[in-house]
Structure 1
Amino acid sequence: MRLNRIPRAAAVAAALLLAAACGSSGSGGSSATGLNPPALKAPTKLGATEGQVNLIAWAGYVEDGSNDPKADWVHAFEKQTGCQVHSKVAASSDEMVKLMKTGEYDAVSASGDASLRLIASGDAAPVNTALVPNYKDVFAGLKNGAWNSVKGQMYGIPHGRGANLLMYNTQKVKPAPTSWSAVFEDAARHKGHVTAYDSPIYIADAALYLKSTRPELRIQDPYALDQKQFDAAVSLLKQQNRSVGEYWSDYLKEVSAFKSGDSVIGTTWQVIANLAASEGAKVRAFVPKEGSTGWSDTWMVSSRAKHPNCAYKWLNWIVSPKVNAQVAEYFGEAPANSRACAETSDKNFCTVYHAADEDYWKKIAFWNTPIAQCLDGRKDVRCVPYDRWVQAWTEIKG
């Protein structure tokens, strides 16, 4: 297993900027509302392949064996389709959006914080899922999401998903926590040894917790916060800051901190928890009773793709059962294709990552873009846009 989500970790959420005129619904399986993208049409059929395809991807998504001889799903694609793959690794969602605007790339592996921007700007075209045969086997929970569709029209093919978990040292944190309260109201119990994800999007984690614990705030969507709701989340995080020993964006630092005991409780990803445990850390990671935030990636086709037929071939290839299994294991995420679980080398992989457990994913609020037009559908108030989340995050950290 190779953990390759990390190049995005430091910058991914800091790129969550979307035109204020755009809107979407909350996370988790309902298509965006209030968003009126340009009237683009998906192709009705495919033509001859063009001989090449230009991709933008997160590190670990387009592997040709040069980084790891065992990780190569590019050469087989090239041999089968005649489409030579040219890929560029992006370090952030903001970089992906800028690159897509050039019109030089055919497809991109966009996260939820970038996908709506690409849809709203017209840089991503609607996708005809009938031209992607493997789409039929994609888990239902990844289809028609708030981050990858508009009014029932898909704008990409889901690639994978992951949750932001609560991890704790089983020897030093007792009794075992069940709630995010362990890193919020009760954080002082482990003062100096609490860790949190270093990103403005982490404000949504506090909002998700308040949604359950302070019903009078009436939070419906952790990415749609009016001023009162936002202030409450920021206040909670400022309180938490007094107990935080380190904010993390580098997985190696988090693993090291849990191994040394510098960190004993905080937010993490499943792949990091697995790695920490494999290196001797006494840890457990889980979704607390309030639920969690999370991320989902989608392969989207440029509205100006010069090689659209090869792009569609790639979309179908990357979510084919065997390849999707390879990517998921190499990257450290739950695969999108339901048949991929039968192809993983570790037969317990999909169980560990809850790949087929739709009840599990119903508890996850996937990253979305906070904008002034409230994502939860409210019309009587304005919500706090992401640029102010960025400002508040600086204040929170002091």
Structure 2
Amino acid sequence: MAATALGGLLLATACGSSDDGGGGGGGAKSAPGGQGFTPPKMSAPKSLGKTEGKVNLIAWAGYAEDGSNDPKVDWVHPFEKRTGCQVSTKVAGTSDEMVNLMKTGQYDAVSASGDASLRLIASGDAAPVNTDLVPNYRDVFPGLKMQPWNSVKKVAYGIPHGRGANLLMYRTDKVKPAPDSWKAVFDDAGRHKGRVTAYDSPIYIADAALYLMKTKPDLGIKDPYALDQKQFDAAVSLLKKQNANVGEYWSDYLKEVSAFKSGDSVVGTSWQVILNTAQGEKAPVKAVLPKEGSTGWSDTWMVSAKAEHPDCAYKWLDWIVSPKVNAQVAEYFGEAPANAKACEETSDPKHCATYHADDAAYWKKVHFWTTPIPQCLDGRTDTKCVPYAKWVQAWTEIKG
């Protein structure tokens, strides 16, 4: 690829929008024909050989459980027994950490979110994936396949793992009437000064952009991850105003549960698993997918271009998306599974309904995280969009 295109993207960071695709897919429309850049040239393997006996993973907490946190939660040891591939897992706390770890070449696969995946593709740290070598891929919801955060120019760069929406959660005893709009944390945030909470990440700028996309149509925002300078400045301005009312920016979901239980936070962005946990601990909370829609995340298992154990990595990709294991992970972590057949394997028969696993209409309202890059993802070619590096800088200014 051209050095300028690669450099522009690397100055940028993760998950995007999609077509309906059926079977539970959806999201905002992305740029037709791809993301406007060409990844470094490399090819996926055509076949697998003898497994190497080991695989090194980078994963979100809860994605590669081996029973050490809970003896009843273990899908690593069964994998090792079946394949002979011994698993070593590095738990990462942020997408930036995942990207940096992948650059070392010491890991074979990573469970990348959308705010990391395009960076890994553009830098050449993630390799194309031959989905034919992952038999369970065939049962992944069609709407999760070949999306802007896990493919480029019709080439797959990973296997979908699971997904979730960023919801608006509120204390039912403190926030009345019940909110149905992100207005509660933006224009109306002053009503709960010091007790508004927001997700602590530069990608949260997209939440403000989404709100403005619906409430300020004159700005012309079509995709919350494709913002020209004027649109970006408007989103940043909104977030700086919100900052005066934010009591806490959260990244640890257990801390958000505690904040809502204590009343330190009464309204803000959240996940379904946070809602479930808080309600399970008797906190008076509810959550809603607001009328403007929401941002969201879809995680993808990607293989390192420098993988020393690629055959074991492929075995892991197939294992983690197999129906029973994908069901276990989805329930433990709190997300919608990627494999449609996983819904038949969950211990809670209502899990897939709770997490809208196969609800295509629901996911149409979700704009999945996608790396902002200079090439506008909404299809515009007459302007440049603000890359992720500028989002990072702005986020520091927003928080003060």
**Whole-angstrom distance in 1 between the partners of 2:93 and 2:255:** 18
- What is the match of residue 280 of structure 1? 282
Q: Which amino acid aligns with 2:283?
A: A
Q: Which amino acid aligns with 1:46?
A: L
Q: Tell me by how many angstroms 1:193 deviates.
A: 2.2
Find 2:17's aligned residue among 16, 23, 27.
27
- What is the match of residue 118 of structure 1? 120
**Whole-angstrom distance in 2 between the partners of 1:94 and 1:249:** 13
Q: Which amino acid aligns with 1:28?
A: S
Find 2:166's aligned residue among 161, 164, 167.
164
SS of 1:339's equivalent in the other structure is helix
**Aligned partners of 1:90 and 1:96 also within 8 Å:** yes
**Whole-angstrom distance in 2 between the partners of 1:389 and 1:33:** 18
SS of 1:78's equivalent in the other structure is helix
SS of 2:301's equivalent in the other structure is strand
Find 2:56's aligned residue among 50, 54, 57.
54
- What is the match of residue 332 of structure 1? 334
Unmatched 5+ stretches in structure 2: 1-5, 20-29
Find 1:317's aligned residue among 316, 319, 323.
319
Q: Tell me by how many angstroms 1:167 deviates.
A: 0.6
Find 1:366's aligned residue among 368, 378, 382.
368
Find 1:71's aligned residue among 53, 67, 73.
73
Find 2:213's aligned residue among 201, 208, 211.
211
**Aligned partners of 1:195 and 1:247 also within 8 Å:** yes
Q: Tell me by how many angstroms 1:317 deviates.
A: 0.4
Does residue 382 (structure 1) correspond to residue 384 (structure 2)? The answer is yes
Which range moved further: 177-186 or 192-201? 192-201
**Whole-angstrom distance in 2 between the partners of 1:244 and 1:160:** 30
- What is the match of residue 37 of structure 1? 39
In structure 2, relative to structure 1, the CA distance for the partners of 1:98 and 1:259 (3 Å cut) is closer
Q: Note the aligned Cα RMSD (angstroms).
A: 1.8
**Aligned partners of 1:32 and 1:145 also within 8 Å:** no
Unmatched 5+ stretches in structure 1: 1-17
**Aligned partners of 2:15 and 2:115 also within 8 Å:** no
Which range moved further: 71-80 or 91-100? 91-100
- What is the match of residue 357 of structure 1? 359
In the alignment of these two chains, the number of paired residues is 381
Which range moved further: 353-362 or 97-106? 97-106
**Aligned partners of 1:56 and 1:96 also within 8 Å:** yes
**Aligned partners of 1:25 and 1:32 also within 8 Å:** no
SS of 2:87's equivalent in the other structure is strand
- What is the match of residue 240 of structure 1? 242
Query: Could you give the per-residue CA deviations for residues 289-329 of structure 1, whole angstroms, max 9, x where no partner exists?
Result: 11101111111112222222111111100000000011111
Q: Tell me by how many angstroms 1:334 deviates.
A: 1.1
In structure 2, relative to structure 1, the CA distance for the partners of 1:249 and 1:33 (3 Å cut) is closer
In structure 2, relative to structure 1, the CA distance for the partners of 1:269 and 1:20 (3 Å cut) is same
TM-score using structure 2 length: 0.91
**Aligned partners of 1:25 and 1:376 also within 8 Å:** no
Q: Which amino acid aligns with 1:58?
A: W
- What is the match of residue 196 of structure 2? 194
**Aligned partners of 1:159 and 1:299 also within 8 Å:** yes
Q: Tell me by how many angstroms 1:21 deviates.
A: 4.5
**Whole-angstrom distance in 1 between the partners of 2:309 and 2:395:** 41
- What is the match of residue 24 of structure 2? none
SS of 1:32's equivalent in the other structure is coil
Q: Tell me by how many angstroms 1:394 deviates.
A: 2.5
In structure 2, relative to structure 1, the CA distance for the partners of 1:21 and 1:269 (3 Å cut) is closer
- What is the match of residue 181 of structure 2? 179
SS of 2:44's equivalent in the other structure is coil
Q: Tell me by how many angstroms 1:281 deviates.
A: 1.2
**Aligned partners of 1:25 and 1:377 also within 8 Å:** no
In structure 2, relative to structure 1, the CA distance for the partners of 1:370 and 1:64 (3 Å cut) is same
In structure 2, relative to structure 1, the CA distance for the partners of 1:355 and 1:250 (3 Å cut) is same
Q: Which amino acid aligns with 1:66?
A: S
Q: Which amino acid aligns with 2:189?
A: A
**Whole-angstrom distance in 1 between the partners of 2:36 and 2:385:** 14
SS of 1:247's equivalent in the other structure is strand
**Whole-angstrom distance in 2 between the partners of 1:26 and 1:375:** 9
**Whole-angstrom distance in 2 between the partners of 1:87 and 1:240:** 38
